[in-house]
Amino acid sequence: MITTEFETSPTDVVVCEACWIEPVETARTTPHSRVRDLLCIPCAEGGYAARVDLFPPLGVFGLNGRKLKMGKHGSGSPKMPPDPGPPLPSPAPTPTPGRPPV
């Protein structure tokens, strides 16, 4: 449902959530949801989707799994670094009373 008469709050956006250019002139609500999209009239009449989700599973600005490239951090299980350094001493040193271990 699209309406041009709606209540605003100080935290509402002032530009269209679909095109991010024109000022907000209408509010569109869906029957199943309490979410409303603040849109300009051409975007509301064209049925364009709002491109802003405040708290979706993958971020702030409408990211989803197809748009998000995980890079080197999304490539499977963790791997050892190229140079792990010297091995730990065996057996482990006993702490000295009164002095922190170094």
In a domain, 4, yes or no: yes
In a domain, 85, yes or no: no
In a domain, 50, yes or no: yes
Between CA 39 and CA 19 the distance in angstroms is 8
Lowest mean pLDDT across 33-37, 49-53, 61-65:
61-65
Domain enclosing residue 45, as ranges: 1-64
Task: Count up the domains in the chain and report the number.
Answer: 1
In a domain, 81, yes or no: no
- Range 66-71 average pLDDT: 54
pTM of the model: 0.48
pLDDT, one tens digit per residue, over 36-51 is 888 999 998 998 888 7
- Range 76-96 average pLDDT: 77
Kindly state the tokens that stand for 42: 């051409």
Between CA 15 and CA 24 the distance in angstroms is 5
In a domain, 76, yes or no: no
Q: Rounded to whole angstroms, what are the CA distances from 79 to 72, 86, 87? A: 11, 17, 17
In a domain, 75, yes or no: no
